[in-house]
Homo-oligomer: A and B are copies of this chain.
Amino acid sequence: MTDKIDHRLRGSWTADGADAAHLPGHALRWLRARTGLGEVTTPSAPSSALRVPDSALPESVVDELEDVVGEGHVHTERAERLGRAGGLSYLDLLRHRGIGELAVPDAVVEPADTEQVMRLLEVCVRHDVGVVPFGGGTSVVGGVNALRGDKFAVIALDLVRLDKLVSVDPVSRIAVLQAGVRGPDAERHLAAHGLTLGHVPQSFERATIGGFAATRSAGQASSGYGRFEDMVETLRVATPVGEWRLGVAPASAAGPDLRELVIGSEGALGVITEVGVRVRPLPTVRRYEGYVLDGWARGADAVRDLAQRRVLADVTRLSDVDETEVGLALKGGWQIAALRRYLAVRGIGDPCLLVLGWEAGDEAELRRRRSATLAALRHAKPVRLGRSAGESWRHGRFGGPRQRDALLDAGVCVETLETATHWSRLAELRTAVRGALVESLTRPGVTPIVMCHISHAYETGASLYFTVLTPRSQVDQLGQWQDAKRAACEAISPLGTISHHHAVGVDHAPYLGAEIGVLGVGVLRGIKERLDPFGILNPGKLV
């Protein structure tokens, strides 16, 4: 599937030949009945209808850029620039449908290696041109929007050519990958050595190693493989003041861990060009299963117990009642009706789906780990759905983004947001965010769907991931979501982190100060002044 994707094109997940997911008739009918969605169609505007200003870059600067990267690697054509205009947030998707203004870069530049990145930064400093490092372009928080800040022009620095496996150290289990390597390619490179990275966020098919690091990404198997920052051993970073290499040991007390500054720096402090990642042997056995627990409170307690006993499955994902209900409804069919009856008979009044997945080097290890998980889970009285429910989730795990075009065409407002907090505040946080979203999106005749799951659990807390489906306002399409997002952020801010794995970008910037304090913002500014004294890197993001 990924072979079909032309990564040069963007504007939606599926605009470029990736398999689009269509929306089955019964699912659409259910959505209409459930939310009040009208029988509208709101197809995408042709891309020729989008307003794309001429490139502000003088020909002489384009020539200088081309001197660095070689002919054919600086693009100023409309389609290429449009393809790097923003990420894949709902707002960005609307903008690509002609609603609101797109921030379009003045050129797309594709360096081949770190040295070229360094030289490009020199050119951009000399001409005071902004630089947006661009990997998979999957940001859902405006992280790659081509804002100009105080610059007269901005380029998208597309790392697509930094697509190589640099080295493998099989003894230390470290692989160095260039920043532009995409998730599936990383796995393909590593599989040739019998290794895996195991980092599978929903953006896996498109997102890149550099992007994972720049945004502090967390994959769906984070319980087993860790968050991306847990995997980073070494970093190579190009900055306007020089090249920076970090990481000589698995752990160190040689001052603060500066790798943790680069991880999450969102292209505003430097361009990550290589990442040394901890890898593991390719699992040879895999088992995914579905369970149902009765009610969110019991479910969350069970996940907490697994985390605190340190027997989480590699994938541990608990859906709330709404998400479980929507999942069943969108599937439909007689099996689902039978399942509902079975759960009722088993005394499950508020079904919450728990997906557990284990991956291991052999059956014995898998058995050992699985039985530790299930032993701890027992007192939560899980009803077992079996492997097909788990496998069904696994096969659809990257499907969400691909369904958005069909939903947008059908007039649906569809977006996700996420947060995390400590266990003692998790219920309060969920209630607050849910309440804020529902209140903001409810209108006469319209009932939004707000569903939630835990997909990353820790000893001290967990993430919450919300998905919203509601009829799109035909009055103020951007404003509808901006208002809802603001309400959600204001609910999150006093109780949890403004982002567990989507990063700050533009959308979360107003809430960063509350989280890291005035001093934290000052510290980030101090670092930015050192590494990017001319302020060319990702203008308007992070700091």
Contacts and interface: CB of A to CB of B under 8 A. Distances in A.
Interface of A: 169, 171-174, 215-218, 227, 229, 233, 239, 241-242, 244-246, 248-258, 260-266, 269, 278, 280, 304, 308-309, 361, 365, 368, 372, 419-425, 456, 458-463, 496-504, 508, 511-512, 515-520, 522-527, 529-531, 542
A230 B394 CA distance: 30
A239 B523 CA distance: 12
Nearest to A422: B172
Given A173-B308, A264-B257, A463-B251, A246 B420 contact: no
Contacts of A261: 256, 260-261, 523
A501 to B, nearest CB: 5
B523 A531 contact: yes
Contacts of A462: 250
A512 B251 contact: no
A393 B425 CA distance: 41
A336 B313 CA distance: 45
A172 B460 CA distance: 5
A528 to B, nearest CB: 9
A520 B172 contact: no
B526 A424 contact: no
A254 B504 contact: yes
Contacts of A233: 422, 460
Nearest to A501: B253
Contact of A422 (B218, B250, B304, B512): B250
Contacts of A522: 241, 530-531
Given A251-B218, A254-B499, A520 B260 contact: no
Given A250-B460, A252-B500, A526 B529 contact: yes
A527 B269 CA distance: 14
Contacts of A458: 250-251
A17 to B, nearest CB: 30
Nearest to A270: B519
A255 B516 contact: yes
A173 B460 contact: yes
B260 A256 contact: yes
A97 to B, nearest CB: 27
Nearest to A169: B424
